[in-house]
Structure 1
Amino acid sequence: MHGVKRVRETPEAAAAKKLREQSKIKEYLALNDELLSKKASDDWSRKAFDLTTRILQINPEFYTAWNYRRNILLQGIFPASSPSEINDLLTDDLSMTTAALKLHPKVYWIWNHRRWCLENVPDGPGSSTEGDVNGWRKTNWDREMFVVDKMLDSDSRNFHAWSYRRYILANMPVPRPETAELAYTTRKIESNFSNFSAWHQRTKILSSLWGSGKLEEAKSKEKEFELVQNAMYTDPNDQSVWIYHRWLVGEGNDKDVLDREIAVIQELLDEQSDSKWCMESLVHYKRLLLKNHASSVDVGQLTMDCQRLLGVLCVLDPARRRRYEELGKSERVGREKCFSFSPREAVTVIL
């Protein structure tokens, strides 16, 4: 760092550091060998269980240790335990994984073990709360939602946490209102339009609400278009926004919606003349007009528009040139003209 005097490490200090690192490696390898040996001999003892704890605290990505830990619980510890004791054991494992996630929030195996803990509550997830031991199941599912909220507060784009959130929502004994979850995604999106996971979550919730008739689709979609258009203008280069917009438009059977959204995107392109996503989206929606409404549109003009946009995209985004060429071919938009732009001509078109 600037202004901070660098302290040179003495040869003695460097040697001592190296020895400590070698000692840690040696210790880990010894633990690893011991664990694999116990696993091979079907050792389901408490000592073996404690060994998995030690090694997972060092390396939470060691999925064999997680698998072995679960087998120890199922084969050796659970059969000799009461339902209340099993709940205590599972609570301890949830606490252990909570601590691990603070340091390793994107390790799949930690999230996977949390799911396993919930699925092995004696009553089982999603069943009646009658007979639930001390209300453990409801309390812990509620706590899981609290944990995942905190994880997403820390990193709102952690797709592991979003996936786990969907799992929790689908299995909570007392379902969370979908409108509440919709409001949650709104807050996450408004704080960061680039949150693809929040947009994706929103598609799931809205599809369910529209399908069940709990939310009027037409009126709701208009609000969604307002939200996504605001996001477009905030950051026209954000891919997640455009993907959500395409989901919202759907297959393009509503010509009025297509015409309106094309006009909105064209207005944005007039301001952001080098926006690749504006151009790609215009081509996509104009192709939908050609495909679904050919009898009521100016086919020649739309074809020329696609031709021009694809030609500019070939220059702006040469890594995907072949893709644009294939799009031009599939719509027969005059491939020779479409891809005859020189860099100078492309700049002229953009400006």
Structure 2
Amino acid sequence: MHGVKRVQYSQAALEAKKQRDHDKLKAYLALSDDVIARKKSHDMSNEAFELTTRLLRMNPEFYTVWNYRRDMFIESLFPQRSPSEVNELLSDDLSLTFELLKQHPKVYGIWNHRRWCLEHIPDGPSPDDVNGYRNSTWNKELFVVEKMLDADARNFHAWNYRRYILATMPFPPPPKSELAYTTRKIEANFSNFSAWHQRSKVLTTLWETGELDRVKSIEEEFELVRNAMYTDPDDQSVWIYHAWLIGNGNYAARLQFEITSIQELLDEQPDSKFSSPLQATADREACGESRG
């Protein structure tokens, strides 16, 4: 990087680093061979379980080891324990995956194991939630994924996981609260495609249930997206959402208004790479609407 002074390492330092890397690889391969051998011999011991923890900390993309770990839970660990103890075990694994996600936020295996843990939380009382371990854990999970999105608001893995939580948790928050959440994320960064996508999902639900007036809310959405368009006319996320709105507000007066609005933006930003194609699309749809 410009302005950053390069550090010159001596030959001895380079050799020492090379040796450390070699030792780490050797240790990893030995541990990996040990765990896979235990899996093949159907070793369900506590020692084998701890070895999977060590190996997954070194390589959380090792999907076979996640599967082995889940087999140990089901065949060995769960049957020997009460619901409260099972809940504690799974809570520990949720903590493990959260720790790993902070370093590897886009590894599918970690997210998948987290889902599996949630789906195996037992029913039972909880001191902080009369609805039981399950509901208490899912509520906490929604808070955790919000923290993940605070760290990286455009992590599509976290957004997919959030949709999964909202669709699966026993007592989800009302859709209007999720709409407000997407508003906050979008206003913080108009370039957040995942937030726009989530907003389209929530709005569709609210329209279908009658909780929002479709025509009125579409008008409000066009106002929101227009602010984004003028703020950053070259952001693709905004234009994709705008096209989705046009498809859902496909009537002549609105289309003509959008054509005029896009033309005004083109007059101000003639080099905008998304404005011109969208205007052409709007023109075609307006003509089709007129013919209809």
Which consecutive residues of structure 1, in runs of 5 or more, have no partner in the other structure? 124-130, 296-351
- Correspondence for 1:291: 288
Deviation by residue 1:130-161 (Cα, 9 ceiling, x = unmatched): x4455322221111111111111111000011
Q: Which amino acid aligns with 2:285?
A: L
**Corresponding position: 1:223 with 2:203:** no
**1:122 to partner: Cα distance:** 2.1
**1:18 to partner: Cα distance:** 1.1
**1:172 to partner: Cα distance:** 2.2
Deviation by residue 1:8-39 (Cα, 9 ceiling, x = unmatched): 32222221111111000000001111111111
**1:7 to partner: Cα distance:** 4.6
Q: After superposition, where does 1:1-351 map in structure 2 within 5 Å?
A: 6-123=6-123, 131-132=124-125, 134=127, 135-250=132-247, 253-294=250-291
CA contact (8 A) 1:262 1:285 kept: yes
Partner-residue secondary structure (3-state), 2:274: helix
Which consecutive residues of structure 2, in runs of 5 or more, have no partner in the other structure? none
- The structure that has the greater radius of gyration is 1
CA contact (8 A) 1:251 1:288 kept: no
CA contact (8 A) 2:265 2:275 kept: yes
Query: Identity across aligned pairs (percent)?
Result: 60
**1:77 to partner: Cα distance:** 1.3
**CA-based RMSD:** 1.7
Partner-residue secondary structure (3-state), 2:79: helix
Deviation by residue 1:304-338 (Cα, 9 ceiling, x = unmatched): xxxxxxxxxxxxxxxxxxxxxxxxxxxxxxxxxxx
- Correspondence for 1:321: none
Bigger drift between 133-142 and 10-19 goes to 133-142
- Correspondence for 1:311: none
Give me the TM-score of the superposition, normalised by structure 2: 0.94
Q: Find the aligned partners of 1:230 and 1:72 in 2 and give their Cα distance.
A: 53
Q: Which amino acid aligns with 1:141?
A: W
Deviation by residue 1:276-311 (Cα, 9 ceiling, x = unmatched): 21111111111112333237xxxxxxxxxxxxxxxx
Q: Find the aligned partners of 1:208 and 1:17 in 2 and give their Cα distance.
A: 56
Partner-residue secondary structure (3-state), 1:105: coil
Give me the TM-score of the superposition, normalised by structure 1: 0.78
- Number of aligned residue pairs: 288
Q: Find the aligned partners of 2:214 and 2:206 in 1 and give their Cα distance.
A: 8
CA contact (8 A) 1:188 1:195 kept: yes
CA contact (8 A) 2:218 2:249 kept: no
Per the alignment, do residues 255 and 74 of structure 1 end up closer, same or farther by CA in structure 2, a change over 3 Å counting?
Answer: same
Q: Find the aligned partners of 1:170 and 1:3 in 2 and give their Cα distance.
A: 48
